[in-house]
Amino acid sequence: MSRVKLERVVKHYGNVVALRELDLEIQEGEFLTLLGPSGCGKTTTLRLVAGFIEPTQGTIYLGNDDVTYVPPQKREIGMVFQDYALFPHMTIEDNIGFGLKERRVGREEIRHRVGELLDLIHLPGVQDRYPAELSGGQAQRVAVARAVAYAPRVLLMDEPLGALDLKLREAMQIELRRIQQELKITTVYVTHDQGEAMNMSDRIVVMNLGLIEQTGSAEDIYNNPRTKFVADFIGSINFLPAKIVGDDGEWSVAETVGAKVKVPKSGASSSSGEVAIALRPERLELVVNGGDGMNVVPGTISNKIFNGNLMRVFVDVGAREPVVIELPPADVHGETGDSVSVGWAPQNGQVLME
């Protein structure tokens, strides 16, 4: 049974369409991330599930209950905000115990439960402090403890790590994922950070302009992006403009920047119009001679950037932008200005509609 279900949900703000028509199911215990640029509708979706806003059309279910017009306080949800939203005038214990008190849980039991939750978030002993006395990371963990204190039906998180610095953010990703798995709580997470989405999620929903572009596991979306938007949004990628010119049985044949290359067969590879070949930088090679069975495109090295464990090589192949290749520094032969060839195995190039 799915925990959360949105059916044909549409949301307009005046003349602005925030969600076109959204169908989404979230399974019991699943960590689902809504990923996309600002204005894509991800936060709107989360706030619809929370009940802070009502949809223009469509139905929202929590479990078997239609909650479309149920106010948030009756939905049994837990919500974590980007700026923590801890109650500044209450101690940590009163913050975490807020939902329990609303549910008429006794004082002793609240004390006990708060202690357990502080152990869970690895922050024991802060019961009597005030939110202003905590660091950002600590405050956000307390916010999570507050949201899960009474075992809500779903945990909703709106860019919870957005206010933290990079190092702390990465540690918190692991921490949040651990808490989620320990509690086995159904979670909907909103972020615009693709790294964050990939680190934490069971499933990622990539959104753009109020529509779902693609849904799948991190691996699935990274390896098989269905649209140029998804390919571009998840990880870094090169696009070569191409046109399908033939078929050699196993592969489709495309012409790009003056060379004929083999590409996997797909919906897009049977199109006769303009397409793009999507190439991940780490799956490209600098080919010195031959490169048997590989697709090869000639070019000139225009720049090299040393990144520690990786060298990024920019090769001008005559497309609008140089092709970026990521290689272990030891594998890079050639200097800026040298003529080289960029090679890749045919299955690593993906044809996407322009």
Q: How big is the chain, counted in residues?
A: 354
What's the angle, vertex CA 232, arms to CA 304 and CA 332, rounded to 5?
A: 20
Task: Lay out the site mask for other proteins across 149-168 (x = CB under 8 A, - = otherwise).
Answer: -x-----x------------
85 in helix, strand or coil? coil
Which amino acid, one-letter code, is at 49? V
**How far, in Å, CA of 148 to CA of 113, rounded?**
11
Angle (nearest 5°) at CA 159 between 121 and 33:
90
Nearer to other proteins among residue 44 and residue 350 (C-beta)? 44
Binding residue count for other proteins, defined by CB under 8 A: 31
In the complex with other proteins, which residue's Cβ is closer, 145 or 315? 145
In the complex with other proteins, the residue whose CB is nearer, 150 or 314, is 150
Which position among 8, 69, 71, 305 is part of the footprint of other proteins (CB under 8 A)?
71
Candidates 18, 60, 67, 79; binder of other proteins (CB under 8 A) is: 79
Q: Are 186 and 26 in contact (CB under 8 A)?
A: yes
Distance CA 285, CA 279 (A): 11
Task: Rank residues 134 and 198 by Cβ distance to other proteins and give the closer one.
Answer: 134
Q: Which helix (H) or strand (E) holds 219?
A: helix 218-223
Span near other proteins by CB under 8 A; candidates 8-16, 96-104, 226-234, 324-332: 96-104
Of the candidate spans 27-35, 83-91, 233-241, 295-303, the one that interacts with other proteins by CB under 8 A turns out to be: 83-91
User: Do 313 and 323 form a contact (C-beta atoms < 8 A)?
Assistant: no
Among positions 30, 76, 196, 285, the unique one binding other proteins when judged by CB under 8 A: 76
Residue 99 Cβ vs other proteins, minimum distance, rounded to whole Å: 4
The stretch among 84-92, 257-265, 285-293, 314-322 that binds other proteins (CB under 8 A) is 84-92
Task: Choose between 73 and 270: whose C-beta lies nearer to other proteins.
Answer: 73
Structure tokens at 62: 């929590």
Asked if 98 touches other proteins (CB under 8 A), the answer is yes
Q: How far is the CB of 177 from other proteins (least distance, A)?
A: 21
Residue closest to 154 by CA, chosen among 27, 275, 242, 57: 27
Q: Could you say whether residue 78 binds other proteins (CB under 8 A)?
A: yes
Q: CA-CA distance, 171 to 120, in Å (whole number)?
A: 15
How, if at all, do strands 57-62 and 2-13 pair?
Answer: antiparallel
Q: Are the C-beta atoms of 6 and 20 separated by less than 8 Å?
A: no
- Quickly list H helices, the chain: 42-50, 92-102, 107-120, 136-148, 166-183, 194-200, 218-223, 228-233
**Residue 43-62 contact track with other proteins, rule CB under 8 A, x = bound:** -------xxx----------
- Which residue among 54, 65, 66, 102 contacts other proteins (CB under 8 A)? 102
Cα–Cα distance, 302 to 317 (Å, whole number): 10
Q: Cβ closer to other proteins: 99 or 210?
A: 99
Q: Which stretch binds other proteins (CB under 8 A): 71-79, 236-244, 252-260, 335-343?
A: 71-79
Which residues of this protein are in contact with other proteins, per CB under 8 A? Answer: 50-52, 71-79, 81, 83-89, 98-99, 102-103, 130-132, 146-147, 150, 156
